Structure formats: structure tokens, C-alpha cells
A and B are shown apart, each in its own frame.
Chain A
Amino acid sequence: MKYFSLLIVLFSCLNLFAQPNCEAYKYNGDTLKYKACEKAMKIKGHYQFSKEYQTILDEAIEIDPTFDYAYWAKSIAYLKSGDFVTWKKLIDKAVEYNPKEHLGYRGWCRYQFFRDYKGAIKDIEKLDSLVDYDIGQSQNGTYHLNIAKGLCYKAIGEKKKAIEIIQKQIQLNEEEKFLGTYDYLHLGVLYFETEKFEKAIDLFQKQSKTNELAENQYYLSLAYRKLDKISQYEASLVKSKELYIQDKKMSDPYSNPMDKIYLENIENEIKQHTIMK
């Protein structure tokens, strides 16, 4: 849980990190980009969706049509309103002019907003091939980009590959003491789905210690049931419902995370178990 809090604090500052340093362009002798950057900074105080914000960025692009930041900043409102056509045109421009800066972001958004698994994999792998440093976290800080990539492989049916990727990244995250909020849970679910129930339980227990969730107890209960550990199955199922009602469940401001469950799933499982008794 402490790592989760750390992530929240870190990524709430993301907007600060995302702002370009206009002076750096000036220092490097790129006067045009410096002027475009200075213009773009006037968006401060305007809402991403607003006419003013978009118009200022259009003017920045008019000054320097290769200024990647302006395309990226413009694209956000289109992304959040689900306009995948305009978003893609804008973010493609940002990627074209600064691939190292925007490929990871585009890949993540393809997954988070549009469940474009193959597109996300392609972008994340492309970024990985371009840089010799850690490719970093998703924009919202929930995952290391490799975990997101693993989830995309799972979604296209390559579960073995997904397990390898996620397992490897979790190991690195543990060494760095920088675990994602749902890392263990996702790996546990993958083990559960590939019928490695003991391993799955081990992962769910780890998730319980870092960030307990209704989903975690739900999948834990299913794993116990597979192993005929009925009392543990019942206890986890009850706990799952309690956690769900307390709002301790997977969430995302813009989408429903992979492996998320709903109250109806828990209640159906309880109902089914009651009938079978």
C-alpha cells in the first residue's frame, strides 16, 4: 500500500513533468521551437477541452509545425471524449516529431482507452527498441509499461508470453520497491486461468499484503474452490463482497481495468455455491 501512495503522489505531479522547458530550445539555438513553446505555455489555467486551450496550441503549431508538445497537449481532450479519429491524427504527429517522448504514452492510451492491444504492444516494443533506459510507467502510474504490454499479450491470447513478461517485470519492481497497484493480482489471475492454482494463491496472498481488493479475494476464492478448499473459498468470497461494498475494488477514472469484477459476479458465485450445497 505504501508503494501505491508513493505512485499517487508521484503521478499527481505528472503535468509538471510533462511541460517542456522552453529555455532549453533557446539554449540549443532552436528559436522557432522556443517561440512555439512560449506560446504553448499560455494554455496554463485553461481547461484541456476549452476553445482557448485548443486555439493557443493551434497558434503554437502555426509557429512551428514540428512542435510535438502542442500536438500531444491538443490530443488529450479528444482522447478523453473518445474521439479516436482526431486523437490518433494528433498523437501520431507528436510521435512523428518526438518518438521517444510519446511512443510509450500512445501505446498506453491505445490500451487504456481503446483496448487496441496489438497497437499498444507495437508502440511499447518500438519504444523499447529505441532507448537504452527503462521505458517507465503508464501515464496514470498504475503499471510499468511492460506490465501493460503483458496484459495486451494476455488479451490477444498469448498467456504464456504474458506470464513471462509480467513475472520478469514484477521481479524488477520488487527490487526497486516500486510495485504497481495491481501487479500481483494480474499475474495471479493469469496463473489461475492457466490452471496453476497454487501459484495463483501465492500471488493473491502477496496482493493482499500490498493492496487488498475485492477482485483479489474473488479470484482467490475461485482458486481455493478449484483445490476443494471449501472453507477458505467461502471465507474469501464473503471478504470479497465486504471489500466491494467498502469500495475497495479496481478502478480507473477513464476505463474499467482488466480483471475487474462487479458485485453481480460475487453474488452469482455466492448464489451458485448456496444451490450446490
Chain B
Amino acid sequence: MKKNFILLSILLFSILWSCQTEKKVPEKQEYLRWVGDIEQNDKVDTSDFKICNGDDNILQYFNLGKGPVYKDEKLKILHTFNSKYKSTRGSNENGLIRIRFIVNCEGKTGRFRVLQSDYNYQEKEFDKEIITQLLSITKEIEQWEVLYKNETPVDYYMYLIFKISDGQLTEILP
């Protein structure tokens, strides 16, 4: 009994101490090379997707000054999602979903990541059916525009933002 009391006291003290120290010393944010860098995660990412020029040289889509680029223009992407996405009936899901990924030097994609929020920019989780659909349609797009820097094809980050209102896909950005 006495032993248990001592153990409990130590535990309580350490919890209180850890809370205190957390308040006193704010945790410093650790950054990767660039904001939004996506590291390979073997648990979720396929191993057949290859970065051509190394992770340290992956650019953002707009670094090449061409704006948001889509193979055969954005209209094709809109047609693809409009024909494949089935809105969840009676759904009251609202907000923004971003799917970000890497386009490699061959125009192939990998390392998909999802960010979700309501229309007040507060993180939330959408109905899984919505996310699964958007993710699989995005992954099915076989070819993306190949971007060049000094005549060398590069790897770059691209994203799609989906606006969802009452479960319906209302806009795709950028």
C-alpha cells in the first residue's frame, strides 16, 4: 500500500512537472528543407514512384513561372472529377480538401497527402467516402505536365483543392 502511494506520488509529480516545463519552454517547431515537404513513408507510399533529381531538388509548381499547369488544360481535370465523383446523398459535409502530391520528371505522381478543414479553416475529418473517391480519382490521372528547368525535367509539388458543399463538389482549385 505504502509502495503504491509512493509510486502514485512520483507519477503525479512527474505529470505536474512535465506540464510545467512544457509551459515554461515552448516547443520549437522543427522544419524540413521546405514548408510542406513530403517525405517518403513506406507504410502509405508506393515504392514504384521515383523522384528523378533527389528530394532536395523538388520544386513547387509555380517556381517555373507557368502558373498551375495541367496536361491538356484544367478543363480536362474538371471533366474527370465531374464525371467520376458521386456526391454523397443527403450529406451535410462542407469545407475544403487539399490533396497534395509530387509530380516527377516523367509526369507521374506519388506521395499523396490529404488536408481537410471546414469553411472556417478549422481542421475536420470528412466522410471517408468523399476522401476515398477524391483520392482515387486524383491517383488515376495518369499523366501530368512535365516541367523543365534549364531544359532538364524537374520534380515538383502540385495540389488540388476541392470545395465541398453539402457533399457536392462545387469547385476545384487552383
- Which residues of the other chain, A, contact B32 by a CB distance below 8 angstroms? 51
Measured CB to CB, the nearest residue on chain A to B76 is A264
- Which residues of the other chain, B, contact A265 by a CB distance below 8 angstroms? 75
Interface membership of A78, Cβ < 8 A: yes
Establish whether residues B159 and A82, one from each chain, have CB atoms under 8 Å apart when the complex forms: yes
Interface residue ranges of B136-174 to A (CB < 8 Å): 157, 159, 161, 163, 171, 173-174
Establish whether residues B34 and A55, one from each chain, have CB atoms under 8 Å apart when the complex forms: no
Q: Tell me the complex Cα distance, A83–B34, Å.
A: 13
Establish whether residues B36 and A51, one from each chain, have CB atoms under 8 Å apart when the complex forms: no
Interface membership of B123, Cβ < 8 A: yes
Measured CB to CB, the nearest residue on chain A to B171 is A115
Interface residue ranges of B27-72 to A (CB < 8 Å): 28-29, 31-36, 60, 62, 65, 67-68
Q: A80-B60, A254-B174 are in contact. Are A50 and B34 (CB under 8 A)?
A: yes
Interface membership of B111, Cβ < 8 A: no
Interface membership of B74, Cβ < 8 A: yes
Q: A264-B75, A265-B75 are in contact. Are A81 and B173 (CB under 8 A)?
A: no
Q: Tell me the complex Cα distance, A263–B75, Å.
A: 9
- Which residues of the other chain, B, contact A55 by a CB distance below 8 angstroms? 31
Interface membership of A13, Cβ < 8 A: no
Interface membership of B117, Cβ < 8 A: yes
Establish whether residues B74 and A262, one from each chain, have CB atoms under 8 Å apart when the complex forms: yes
Interface membership of B7, Cβ < 8 A: no
Interface membership of B119, Cβ < 8 A: yes
Establish whether residues A254 and B62, one from each chain, have CB atoms under 8 Å apart when the complex forms: yes
Establish whether residues B65 and A253, one from each chain, have CB atoms under 8 Å apart when the complex forms: yes
Once A and B bind, how many residue pairs between them come within 8 Å at the CB atom?
93
Interface membership of A58, Cβ < 8 A: yes
Q: A58-B29, A262-B75, A264-B73 are in contact. Are A84 and B98 (CB under 8 A)?
A: yes
Establish whether residues A113 and B173, one from each chain, have CB atoms under 8 Å apart when the complex forms: yes
How far does the Cβ of A225 sit from chain B's closest Cβ, in whole Å? Answer: 21
Measured CB to CB, the nearest residue on chain B to A50 is B34
Measured CB to CB, the nearest residue on chain A to B31 is A51
Q: A58-B28, A83-B98, A85-B123 are in contact. Are A50 and B161 (CB under 8 A)?
A: no
How far does the Cβ of B147 sit from chain A's closest Cβ, in whole Å? Answer: 13
Interface membership of A256, Cβ < 8 A: yes
Measured CB to CB, the nearest residue on chain B to A86 is B35
Q: Tell me the complex Cα distance, A55–B35, Å.
A: 11
Q: A50-B33, A253-B65 are in contact. Are A85 and B75 (CB under 8 A)?
A: no
Interface membership of A49, Cβ < 8 A: yes
Contact of A256 among B74, B115, B121, B122 (CB under 8 A): B74
Establish whether residues A255 and B117, one from each chain, have CB atoms under 8 Å apart when the complex forms: no
How far does the Cβ of A162 sit from chain B's closest Cβ, in whole Å? Answer: 18
- Which residues of the other chain, A, contact B96 by a CB distance below 8 angstroms? 84, 114
Establish whether residues B173 and A114, one from each chain, have CB atoms under 8 Å apart when the complex forms: yes
Q: Tell me the complex Cα distance, A84–B29, Å.
A: 18
Measured CB to CB, the nearest residue on chain A to B124 is A85
Q: Tell me the complex Cα distance, A265–B79, Å.
A: 12
Interface membership of A47, Cβ < 8 A: yes
- Which residues of the other chain, B, contact A21 by a CB distance below 8 angstroms? none
Q: Tell me the complex Cα distance, A37–B32, Å.
A: 24
Interface membership of A43, Cβ < 8 A: no
Q: A58-B29, A253-B65, A256-B174 are in contact. Are A83 and B115 (CB under 8 A)?
A: yes
4 closest Cβ contacts across the A-B interface? Answer: A88-B121, A81-B36, A77-B35, A49-B34
Taking A51-B32, A81-B60 as given, write out 8 further A-B residue pairs in contact, using a Cβ cutoff of 8 Å, ordered by the A residue number.
Answer: A49-B36, A49-B60, A50-B34, A54-B29, A77-B34, A82-B98, A85-B121, A251-B67
Can you list 23 contacts pairing A with B, beta carbon distance less than 8 Å? A49-B36, A49-B60, A51-B32, A54-B31, A54-B35, A82-B161, A82-B173, A82-B174, A83-B115, A84-B96, A84-B98, A84-B117, A85-B123, A114-B96, A114-B163, A115-B163, A254-B67, A254-B68, A255-B67, A255-B173, A255-B174, A256-B68, A264-B75
